[in-house]
Amino acid sequence: MSARPQSSPDSSAEAGGALRDDMLKAMRRMARSVAVISCRDGERRYSMSVTAVDSLSADPPSLLICINRNSSIYPPLDAGADFCINLLAADHRDIAVDCSGRLKGEERFTSGEWEDDLLGVPCLRNAQANLVCRQDGRFDYGTHAVFIGRLREVRLAGEVSPLVYVDGAYTTSAPLRALCSA
């Protein structure tokens, strides 16, 4: 039976800060597709750029999103709003920047062509994909809430050419063909 490593009680506060900083530095090395989460609360629309999106299960088809509880999109999601995960294409950099803070509120919908689905959830018309979800669960952890979305509609558009975020910058994915020819 192997023993688990023990942390010393006197190092927890300092180590916690250093561990947090190291985690944030490590996460900058994880390239992620950029998405805009959008939802509606009555007449008001909300959107926010994110990279914290993942598939949860194929049966039932479901995804999860992680949202900071201080963000403007949190209150309608906390109230149970359905949402759309709009996967951005390489040419959607301006939309990503606008929805990550350059613009506020309804102004964020001036970038790109937006339309409502049949139930009123705003969807970016020419996104790589629109994954429209009915909210099906949530839990809080630290500064964030994890929302589970049960997929109710998928729309695909164009070639696969995602906008990617890595090391604090937007970029694109490129095939490794040139590196593989040896």
The stretch 66-93 carries a mean pLDDT of 98
Confidence of residue 5 (pLDDT cuts 50, 70, 90): very low
| Domain spans, the chain | 32-167
Q: What is the pLDDT of residues 11-58, one digit of tens each?
A: 555 667 899 999 999 999 999 999 999 999 999 999 999 999 999 999
**Which pLDDT value is given to residue 6?**
45
Q: Which of 8-22, 113-127, 146-160 has the lowest mean pLDDT?
A: 8-22
Q: What count of other Cβ atoms lies within 10 Å of the Cβ of residue 128?
A: 23
Distances (CA, A) of 58 to 12, 117, 130, 137: 39, 22, 17, 16
- For the cut 80, the answer to whether the pLDDT of residue 8 exceeds it is no
Mean pLDDT of the chain: 91
Residue pair 130/151 in contact by the 8 Å Cβ criterion: no
* d(C-alpha 45, C-alpha 35), whole Å: 16
* d(C-alpha 182, C-alpha 178), whole Å: 9
The DSSP secondary-structure symbol of 86 reads E
Confidence of residue 83 (pLDDT cuts 50, 70, 90): very high
- For the cut 60, the answer to whether the pLDDT of residue 61 exceeds it is yes
Instruction: Name the token pair of 22.
Output: 């190291």
How much is the pTM? Answer: 0.87
CATH 3.10.129.10 is the classification of domain 32-167: no
Residue pair 39/86 in contact by the 8 Å Cβ criterion: no
- For the cut 90, the answer to whether the pLDDT of residue 4 exceeds it is no
**Which pLDDT value is given to residue 181?**
56
Note every long-range contact of 141-145, with CB atoms under 8 Å and residues 24 or more positions apart, other chains counting: 143/68, 143/69, 143/70, 144/52, 144/66, 144/67, 144/68, 144/69, 145/66, 145/67, 145/69, 145/74, 145/77, 145/78
**Which pLDDT value is given to residue 158?**
84
